[in-house]
Structure 1
Amino acid sequence: MVFGLPMHPLVAHAVVVCVPLAALGAILMAFWPAAARRLWPAVLFVATIGLIAVPLTTQSGESLEERVGERELVEAHAKQGEQVLPFVIVLWLSVAGIFLLVYLIRRMSRSPDRAVGSRPRWRPIATVVLAVMALVGGVGGVVEVVLAGHSGAKAVWTK
């Protein structure tokens, strides 16, 4: 309880804000290299807050469920909420991977032994894998957050 309010809805709003923002940032970074070079610190920060907030939301929801009792709608909301974390993990990994890719590209471009115009073979593969991860984690995470939020609203507002 925080100021007499259950912790669950307070922490859930961090998920509702951070996951879509991180998804938008990750997808933008995956498909626009200039954005990746500029935005990665902010997107990584927001994605990390989202990643931390999801298990806190789940845990606080379980505590709240004990207080309000197990009803069908509450159970449906709990089940839906448990599906958010895997997507947010993939989203966070994609953002961290894009950061690492940007870092390695910068470092390699400053290397004196690098041949002009040469690119490592792994770079296009890594770029595609990270873009797919950003799309799957971002879109899947946002969809699951919306579905969990909707089921939670139904559980609260339906008698």
Structure 2
Amino acid sequence: MFEEFMDIPAHPLLVHAPVVFVPLLALLAIAYAFVPVIRPHTRWVLGALAVVTPISALFAKLSGDAFFDRLDEAGRITEGFYPTLEEHQALGNMTAFTTAILGLATLALVLFVVPRRSAAALEPGGGAQPLLLLGLRVLTVLAALASLYYVVRTGDTGAKAVWTGY
């Protein structure tokens, strides 16, 4: 399922979704956590991104595993190149993991930090308990930073793997 799309390896196509969605989710989730005035305008988009982004990261990871297996079975990977691809694979696993955490933290923000369409929306918290809001903010920022780090590192090692050869 994750090997090819119209006779083209799926991985080079699917990786573009998390490359776009992970930074978008990370930045929007942090903004939602700290800027109450944007909450009414971004709630549904953020909720959708919180679901779609981890799925896109998982699909990129699964297609990468299938692509690696395909190249390996065809004998197209040189012996000295395995460490590079294994590093890329490990970073892809971490990207999928941290993005899943970011997605869950973001969904919690969307569910528990409900925007109010009144002057109360401008107050810190926007209706959530202060301790819950603090915990969600910390978790969101940490997950967002980790997701950004891993998506950049994964993309960098993948690009270097493509351009230096396997």
1:1-150 superposed matches below 5 A: 1-69=4-72, 71-103=82-114, 106=116, 123-150=129-156
Alignment partners' CA distance in 1, 2:55 and 2:129: 30
The answer for the alignment partner of 1:116 in structure 2 is none
- CA offsets 1:95-138 (integer angstroms, 9 cap, x no match): 111111233x75xxxxxxxxxxxx9xx71011111111110111
Cα distance in structure 1, aligned partners of 2:18 and 2:69 = 22
* Partner AA of 2:101 in structure 1: V
RMSD: 2.2
Task: Provide runs of 4+ in structure 1 moved above 3 Å.
Answer: none
Conserved 8 A contact 2:113-2:133: no
% identical equivalent positions = 31
Whole-Å Cα distance in 2 between the matches of residues 20 and 47 of structure 1? 12
- 1:49 maps to a residue whose letter is V
- Aligned equivalents of 2:101, 2:137: Cα separation in 1: 11
Q: What is the TM-score of this pair, normalised by structure 1?
A: 0.83
1-structure distance, mates of 2:51, 2:15: 15
TM-score, scaled relative to structure 2: 0.80
Contact 1:87–1:136 (8 Å) recurs in 2: no
CA distance in 2, matches of 1:62, 1:22: 24
Distance in 1 of aligned mates of 2:102 and 2:87: 24
Figure out how many residues of one structure are paired with residues of the other and give that number. Answer: 147
